[in-house]
Amino acid sequence: MKKHPSNERELRVSRDRLAELLNEDLAREYQAIIAYVVYSQVLKGAEFMSIAEQLQSHAEEELKHALIISRQVDYLGKMPTVTPKPVRTSDDPREMLRFDLDNENETIRNYRDRVRQCEAIGEFALAEQIREILVNEQDHQIDLATALGEEVPNVSDPV
């Protein structure tokens, strides 16, 4: 698995490096939008109807996140990426939810790092915007873990 900045002591980053990292986050937001749009439509069975509806609203929230992150990349003087991370699919509804939960866990870890990085270079307003996104991402994580009948994963420890 990819190391996280908290492991690498990459808290004090340049504005250019922060823009690169935010572009990676933006690619993950695109991935989430696509996954939630598709998964919300293909999940079948009474057991998954409630989470399918939640995934539709998650898709809308992820679009808002993408707009916020792309604006911040532009603010830092870089061009926002246009390429999503790959989206995994499956015929197994539980496996699709697992993919989503794994992606949310990674997103939460990365946004926690981003908040620390923003604050380390004095970008407090940017850190605040990411904090607001983080609240939504943690709600998504809770929804997915609940749908899978699991405890919410502890992603506080570095991977």
Looking at residue 158, its pLDDT comes to: 57
Please answer whether residues 33 and 59 qualify as being in contact, where contact means their C-beta atoms are separated by less than 8 angstroms: yes
Question: In whole angstroms, what is the distance from residue 118 CA to residue 123 CA?
Answer: 5
* pLDDT per residue rounded down to tens, the chain (159 residues): 344 444 444 778 999 999 999 999 999 999 999 999 999 999 988 889 899 999 999 999 999 999 999 999 999 999 999 999 999 999 999 999 999 999 999 999 999 999 999 999 999 999 999 999 999 999 999 999 999 999 999 998 654
